[in-house]
Amino acid sequence: MRIGVLSDTHGLLRPEAVAALANVEAILHAGDVGDITILDRLNALALTTAIRGNVDTSGPCAKLPATEMVELGGKLIYMLHAIQDLDINPAAASVSLVISGHSHRPSIEERNGVVYLNPGSAGPRRFSLPITLAIVEIGDQINAEIVEI
């Protein structure tokens, strides 16, 4: 199963992001959506699950959940906006993938059999950080790749 993961759009859905997500089966947005219509546009590409971030404080985005647990490709995925707010033991909860955003810094790390993924920011450029999202292939293993857009 191929999924697209993005975060921190802050109200901007770039055409490059839409193109990069063209062939995914599901999309996960790790918060700081900024404009609910972004989720409508993502849902037109593939079923989208989103959580709220620290900028999603009013309007429809404020009603998004703070965390979400989803199962895709037979693997449990836990989503939260800021990794420092992690409130579960992913390995003990049989979570295979933890997705976070907030820092705008893309990263992929494996600890105790759990993949930790921050897709970076797909929205407005912040400082000198790249504009990125991630593509995740879920099979027997989880393979994540950061894509610069």
pLDDT single digits (tens) 57-114: 999 999 999 999 999 999 999 999 999 999 999 999 999 999 999 999 999 999 999 9
> Among candidates 25, 15, 4, which has minimal Cα distance to 133?
4
Q: What is the predicted pLDDT for the residue at 139?
A: 94
Q: Residue 127: pLDDT above 90?
A: no
Q: Residue 126: pLDDT above 90?
A: no
Contacts 24+ apart (CB under 8 A), 82-87: 82/53, 82/54, 83/116, 83/118
Burial 130-149 (b: 16+ CB within 10 A, else e): ebbbbbbebeeebebebbeb
Assess contact for 133 and 119: CB atoms under 8 A.
yes
121: CB partners within 8 A, 6+ apart: 7, 8, 9, 10, 101, 104, 129, 131, 132
2-148: which CATH topology? Purple Acid Phosphatase; chain A, domain 2 (3.60.21)
